[in-house]
A and B are shown apart, each in its own frame.
Chain A
């Protein structure tokens, strides 16, 4: 019975498996950061309740040791990005929705799809297991910079193996998405009739397919350094603890950074594009208007995709790679902000003149716009070499990218959960609980992340074990660590409201019917939930563009993409 779900090749079941697993990892990664936030707010005070669980080797008497703190930081980043947000945005939402929205019976390669999930699962288990090996999990930051990572305990090798499994999973997934979108579009589903969400997944898949191999190569090289004694990332004349390193030398530590960020920067857009896709769907539906500038948005994300491959070294301005290289990368970085601004502006303009419904998915989607905007704007000083150098590796950077990913992408993902939950389960999530969840999360996230910008501008570095308490320049802002941590614990408590809502609504939620939001795209033309294999009752067909809301001369305020001539205007 269980095997039926664990080994099903149905894209919807695989999408749900991705959804459950990635949300588990999101919670786990969040739990790690709660431990970190305790230590930052109350350095060297024993952690209440759970402090005794981490073992004498990690937290004697409940007080975190610096090495354990480093493990938590490195694994929080790794888990959130590679095991939480991307698998939820692409593996879960993409898998469930892309075949439905293009009118396909399934993905192009159903068995490969299942294999991709199990590689992801194996990668996740490897990462979790690494906490229990001698020396603990990876502790060289989520970026695993060399040469530090070359000498880290064995947990780093587990990290490399885990990454290779995750990369393999996402390569199989990415080629499956592209093949599905190119080959399995229903009759009439021309390229410019694709919902924007499908376009976003299409570009995302190309980024995953072509950027991830660079980290694959980097992981192989670092594994060789660690296991076979090569010196790819070890320059000549390196000392550790006062003793010369016994290695051939002649390597290049910056090589790791180049390879890592060649993946790392496109990965940022992998985090963002599906979120933009979800927000676009929900905005069009709840403004009851077509998206403003649909084609412009599609062209923009194409440009975004191409440019994301030539901006990576803006993460490396501080390395002294040379001013002419810096000049090139800051120019491309400024250029790539243009398509992002076009997409965000189009989404904002789509609101103009709409008769907006403020339901929970719409609230999360609306909050995405200013939160993502704040994340984007705070990125501009980091994209220019002169202003990046004092800000590099400060809490400002942490605040910047968390604004993009937490109240940005994760809000969009919540919006998606509230929006598509009725299609998946047949019941609506509770609106009242949803609004409490939204308002409290919005406040808590801002109280957590805005002070990071302030601390960073004051020069407080990231990754400090005591939150900056021993530095004199940090004294005016170090008190902010307490409200930030309190807000983090509050954010955790608020997520219980969401969990209660899910359980309550599964049992007693309002029955949804097939199309509760009055939506146009093809996934709402399926039965609820969609048929186990093949999705649709009748072979679907697309007759028009995806967002035909409030069409003059039509009964009702929307014209479904799959509705035949009987509903078209006379």
Chain B
């Protein structure tokens, strides 16, 4: 069905509203991220409560692989960098460079997932499961939820890299804004990992 939105224009979808200084999608993604902060905040709080009340807690760095997690941290931060470059490429009017940097961002996400899969299967092969103890339970829950977020981000980025880029020809400014919004989400996923890494591997 053809969306009947065509007959009506929602204001400030692309243009900035002067008195608020925002476009609708920019405000929308910040609000969404605020709720995400509360979601991960609740989980980090649960971690703190369970760990502080535990009779014993494993030495985390002995159970998990710090080198692999360091590698993943580097991959994810780099992909945040290429995400900014992709947006900057659109700002300077080059779809080809956007495709290059967005492609690198997606590859970064894929690389992160591959390393994560190695980590998971290594744990399983040593008979370490979520039910083994609450530390591993939290590790799998938190990193699993984070991995779902990475996956969602990759799907969104892939859409903008592929079919979504058709909008560049008709509404370049709107497309650039969309990539910026996707970027904010991607950076947030990165920031969550930057908290997860020390909390789960180092502390």
Contacts and interface: CB of A to CB of B under 8 A. Distances in A.
Contact of A216 (B8, B20, B39, B50): B39
Nearest to B53: A252
Contacts of B54: 250
A291 B126 CA distance: 68
A209 B33 CA distance: 10
Interface stretch (B22-30, B79-87, B95-103): B22-30
Quick one: which of A174, A217, A220, A232 has the most chain B CB within 10 A? A217
Interface string B140-157: 110001000000000000
A175 B133 CA distance: 37
Interface in B122-172: 129-134, 137-138, 140-141, 145
Given A106-B10, A220-B141, A248-B134, A262 B42 contact: yes
Contact of B134 (A7, A174, A230): A230
Interface string B24-63: 1001100110111011011100100110011100000000
Contacts of A184: 10-12, 24
Nearest to A217: B42
A106 B8 contact: yes
A175 B35 contact: yes
A212 B49 contact: no
B35 A108 contact: no
Contacts of B53: 250, 252
Quick one: which of B3, B28, B34, B49 has the most chain A CB within 10 A? B28
A9 B133 contact: no
B35 A212 contact: yes
B24 A179 contact: yes
Contact of A182 (B20, B134, B145): B20
Nearest to A533: B8
Contacts of A229: 129-131
Nearest to A218: B42
Interface residues of B, number: 44
Given A176-B28, A217-B39, A228 B137 contact: yes
Contacts of B23: 183
Contacts of B145: 220
B203 interface: no
A533 B134 CA distance: 53
A249 to B, nearest CB: 8
Contacts of A301: none
Contacts of A533: 4-5, 7-8
A503 interface: no
A247 B137 CA distance: 12
Contacts of B10: 105-106, 108, 110, 184
A527 B133 CA distance: 63
A250 B27 contact: no
A262 B42 CA distance: 9
A232 B55 contact: no
A90 B46 CA distance: 30
B120 to A, nearest CB: 13
A221 B7 contact: no
Contacts of B20: 182-183
Contacts of B134: 230-232, 248, 250-251
B46 A221 contact: yes
Contacts of B130: 224, 228-230
B185 to A, nearest CB: 13
Nearest to A184: B11
A534 interface: yes
Given A110-B5, A182-B22, A183-B17, A214 B42 contact: yes
B128 to A, nearest CB: 12
A108 B27 CA distance: 10
Contacts of B9: 105
Interface in B80-116: none
B65 to A, nearest CB: 21
A545 B95 CA distance: 48
A183 B42 CA distance: 30
Contact of B50 (A109, A228, A251): A251
Contact of B22 (A10, A112, A183, A250): A183
Contacts of B4: 8-10, 532-533
B137 A175 contact: no
Contacts of B49: 252, 255, 258
A116 to B, nearest CB: 12
A541 to B, nearest CB: 14
A9 B7 contact: no
B55 A248 contact: no
A496 interface: no
Quick one: which of B1, B23, B38 has the most chain A CB within 10 A? B38
A248 B11 CA distance: 55
A232 B23 CA distance: 41
Given A216-B39, A217-B42, A248 B133 contact: yes
Interface in A323-355: none
B36 A213 contact: yes
A108 B46 CA distance: 35
Interface in A153-209: 171, 174-176, 178-179, 182-184, 209
Contacts of A250: 50, 53-55, 133-134
Contact of A224 (B8, B12, B28, B141): B141
B32 A171 contact: yes
A221 B49 CA distance: 13
Nearest to B11: A184
Given A182-B22, A209-B35, A217-B46, A248 B131 contact: yes
B200 to A, nearest CB: 15
Interface in A92-127: 105-106, 108-112
A258 B38 CA distance: 14
Interface string A23-38: 0000000000000000
B109 to A, nearest CB: 22
A210 interface: yes
B2 to A, nearest CB: 11
Given A8-B4, A252-B53, A534-B7, A175 B131 contact: no
A184 B50 CA distance: 44
A209 B27 CA distance: 13
28 contacts: A8-B4, A9-B3, A108-B28, A112-B28, A171-B32, A171-B35, A174-B31, A179-B24, A183-B11, A183-B24, A210-B35, A213-B38, A213-B39, A217-B39, A221-B46, A228-B137, A231-B134, A248-B131, A248-B137, A250-B53, A250-B54, A250-B55, A250-B133, A255-B46, A259-B42, A532-B4, A533-B5, A533-B8
Given A108-B10, A232-B138, A533-B5, 19 more contacts: A9-B4, A105-B8, A105-B10, A106-B10, A109-B24, A175-B31, A183-B17, A184-B10, A184-B24, A209-B38, A212-B35, A229-B130, A230-B131, A230-B134, A232-B50, A252-B49, A255-B49, A258-B49, A262-B42
Q: Considering the complex of A and B, which 4 residue pairs feature the smallest CB-CB distances, nearest first?
A: A229-B131, A230-B137, A217-B42, A213-B39
